[in-house]
Structure 1
């Protein structure tokens, strides 16, 4: 598994304004001491978890917080109501698909859409300002502010489907839902286990702006977020790589990469799939580290 980022192997604590490597026990002790010193508890501590976390990791992580104080790390996808929710098989049976601002590198959903267009002659309506890999197979491409033009295509279809990207607003989802009474909707879930996090009760509807403490289980996700914007007085980051963003954390804990994990995830259709590691990890599992922390905090 090749990644140009340098691995984080040892925990780090910020001392004299710079991160310094320490042993795991010292890092765990430091977090515990800070929580007591700063009166950090479940009313003022917030957790953000990567959608690359397994179901097993997520269950342990959630146990450290109030469930309404845990959110998904990265762009959040608002999902449609149950009776409107589409599955991958609905892509194959659809005769008209509207794709709204979709990432052109969407491999799984993208492959199903391309197969439906080429094999079943499914009409594809692209709604986007940018060029992407679906341009050459689309029936029509419109801009987001011309969305109502898609209504005609959807109204003529027997099995219409609307697929939309992650991170769009609730108003945008409502507008898409209002395009057709019979269309099913599919929100793109950015991470391998986004569906599993939802099933556990983790969502993106939390206010992190006033958190006293922030714990981010980033796994091997890219750290695009600047943690300073969360205004947390104490930040714990559990990540796989040494990147500039870790400088915004007070404590950094190591995390295995995806290929070093064993557990389960829940796929886009809601089916639980087992994950088996293909590489040995140079660090403890996320579960082991979190259990050590939970044990220390309970003393």
Structure 2
């Protein structure tokens, strides 16, 4: 079987492609630039490159022909390419892709969305939930992964969690539990599900233990030996900013921050069902912050996980 990975040059998508290759499956990686560093890595790992853009209906139709399963990790939430809006990619793009899958007889689609406990009404949530409903109402086999927060995204300077600078943004009062789940775990499960003949439906995904934002800050202080200054963004400020913003991307980011403020507690039951061991948060943050064995930070923290 051939598995097409849409969003393969992002970290989640590239990890999913690598996991599928490790399981012995043929992988077609959808890319827009064959010469990009991510595309070159995927080709070296054994993936066949497929050039297509979610905004191009004809290219998408050609990309899905002859593939058995499709893993969808694509999103415009962090893209800086011209024309890559949420509406164009997460909205029309995903709908175009699902239509192409239906019309070309794709057997199984695995969509990586996000926890339904993160329930703010934002452009991103409307587009993702629409894609989920479309798949659930189709005749195709489908699996919809609903992970909670990725530490590789939400414990980095891009959201104000800057260990190197010694400052951490806390959304809300920081006490609510959050089920941080490793990006690599979601990628492995996506690859495993895509190879299954039957879809698994909607699968909520939490990590092995919940942590509040304040507990994560304490963990960071313990592991790095740094004293961190906490900057709070109260829940009412988040909601006020959401209602006053006319920027779909900013609204969507604020909706995710609101989810951090109110908490998102999910179980890790998915791991036992699929014979996997969820990655502890400590192992994730050691990689994120580039910690040496003595707890010191080595070099600059990488943001490749946000590509």
TM-score, normalised relative to structure 2: 0.35
Q: State which structure, 1 or 2, has the greater radius of gyration over its C-alpha atoms.
A: 1
Highest RCO, 1 vs 2 (Cα 8 Å, sep ≥ 6): 1
Q: Which has the higher helix share?
A: 2
TM-score, normalised relative to structure 1: 0.36
Q: Which has the higher strand share?
A: 1
